[in-house]
Structure 1
């Protein structure tokens, strides 16, 4: 019921702005393994072991009978970065580290609500400030568990327009899928100007704190990928985390929207001490 209410609030807000219905890219549980040989982020590829050691999976308990699945990234030995819409109603979260097969992590922690830091100005209606942090026990790095790099704090930042990025996660592999993938998948994408993204969602939704990518040939993030990392191919630096798309489908060709990490570096440092 809570999942339905969250979707209803977001969809109602989008209709009020006369834009395509926004869908936060998480998915309800229970989830079943996608056993097909080509399981992937829509039109992406299957990840190899240790290819994305910063990738984190989140099994989120929302109530007695309701839960959801999201992605996240490891940004230090004891902090995880994800989307606020994934964690804002969480009662507890199981954090999966070092997994390529979703159900077989190297390390798994259960954290309580008190370990979650949701951005104080997160807006459920517009998904503005869609970012949160999760504190976990200090974790040793291995070949399969490593922190992603964040941009260095600066007075000015690149827009990254035109840069190639890679998104990863266990999200739905097609618009017809009804469960997240059991295999970690990834897709190469290209960052587009916010003005182009706003033609789909309007400037009321797309803010400077968002970053968007094109989704050619139906290649995109999808439900279940929420909170997962968007990383520059050239440098391995995380510049976004999966936030929302349009309701008419992950393969419909609309831009996919992310939370822009450079807009929140000071907030991350203030809450975790992590900076570059």
Structure 2
């Protein structure tokens, strides 16, 4: 299955010396390192209509399937992570699902419907759009608003936000049927850089603390981080520490405010 990006964190010989962290996808790690599998860890089951903007995405390349999430931002647009779509030939989108086996409906798309950020490389610019058939909005299926263009420099530091997904619930399991949601607090870019270094945790990344084992993880890639104050989509689930989702390392998201102009140019959606 497609997995959330993870980071190999190297030890530092001196606290004053910043050592670049090596970053890899989980699928590129050796098998014995795959001790932590994906999930919203220690979250709560979502209720019907609580997260109407989330879609489950089953992606395929030559018969190999993986699972990601995405966010509805318009009648014909879903926002997700570039690392979810970059290798895919096609995808099925699950709308209005609490249990992913019982969606309100599904739509199929191909790689021709994927728009990957042109500067996507590794962990940088990890964001993509999916052009979808028209979707009507109602209580179970609805869009989430983007931050306004005037809010593009808001760091959201110390604010609370909610992440959601169908990631697995215990080590070694696959994605789970029921949607989970967890509240997480945004930390400063500086605090995130202290853990991952400046190349990984740059200004286009938003990080959250993960106390008490609460975190996003593999299988949640591409899913939403939505501010509790104003219900704006501020992050796209991207990476975690290679020590594990419950290790206490910050969870990383692509910072949506860094890409508002790109989204506007591609979709004509802006606020």
TM-score range relative to shorter protein: 0.7 to 0.9
Quick one: distance in 2 between partners of 1:257 and 1:73? 17
1:152 to 144, 148, 165: 148
Query: CA–CA distance in 1 between the matches of 2:111 and 2:213?
Result: 36
Aligned to 1:173: 169
How far apart, in 1, do the equivalents of 2:228 and 2:55 lie? 18
Question: TM-score, normalization: structure 2?
Answer: 0.87
The answer to whether the 8 Å contact 1:22/1:246 transfers is no
**Alpha-carbon displacement from aligned partner over 1:127-153 (angstroms, at most 9, x marks no partner):** 100000001111111110000010011
SS of the residue 2:149 aligns to: coil
1:136 aligns with 2:132: yes
1: CA distance between counterparts of 2:101 and 2:240?
A: 26
Q: Counterpart of 1:42? A: 41
Alignment of 1:73-84 (within 5 A): 73-84=71-82
RMSD of aligned alpha carbons: 2.4
**Aligned match of 1:19 in 21, 36, 47?**
21
Contact 2:90 2:110 in 1 (8 A): yes
Q: 1:144 to 1:116 in 2, by over 3 A?
A: same
Contact 2:209 2:250 (8 Å CA) reproduced: yes
2:118 is aligned to: 120
The answer for the alignment partner of 1:33 in structure 2 is none
1:2-23 Cα shifts (integer Å, max 9, x gaps)? 969x97xx768989x6526555
Partners of 2:94 and 2:163 lie apart in 1 by 18
Which residue in the other structure is 1:273 paired with?
268
Shift of residue 223, structure 1, vs aligned partner: 0.5
Distance verdict in 2 for CA 1:155–1:47, change over 3 Å: closer
Q: What are the equivalent positions in structure 2 for 1:75-114 lying under 5 Å apart?
A: 75-114=73-112
Partner Cα distance (1:259, 1:41) in 2: 17
- Which residue of structure 2 lines up, in the alignment, with residue 61 of structure 1? 60
Count of residues paired in the alignment = 253
Q: Retained in 2: the 8 A contact 1:49–1:144?
A: yes
Alignment partner of 2:182: what SS? strand
**In the alignment, is the contact (CA less than 8 A) between 2:161 and 2:183 conserved in 1?**
yes
Once the two structures are TM-superposed, the CA of residue 154 in structure 1 deviates from its matched residue by 2.2
Structure 1 residues 155 and 70 mapped into 2: Cα distance closer, same or farther (>3 Å)?
Answer: closer
CA contact (8 A) 1:74 1:80 kept: yes
Q: Is the 8 A contact 1:20 1:247 kept in 2?
A: no
Runs (5+) with no aligned partner, structure 2: 12-18, 28-38
Which secondary structure state, in structure 1, belongs to the residue aligned with residue 41 of structure 2? coil
Question: In 1, distance between residues paired with 2:243 and 2:131?
Answer: 35
For 1:35, the equivalent position in structure 2 comes to: none
Shift of 1:246: 1.1
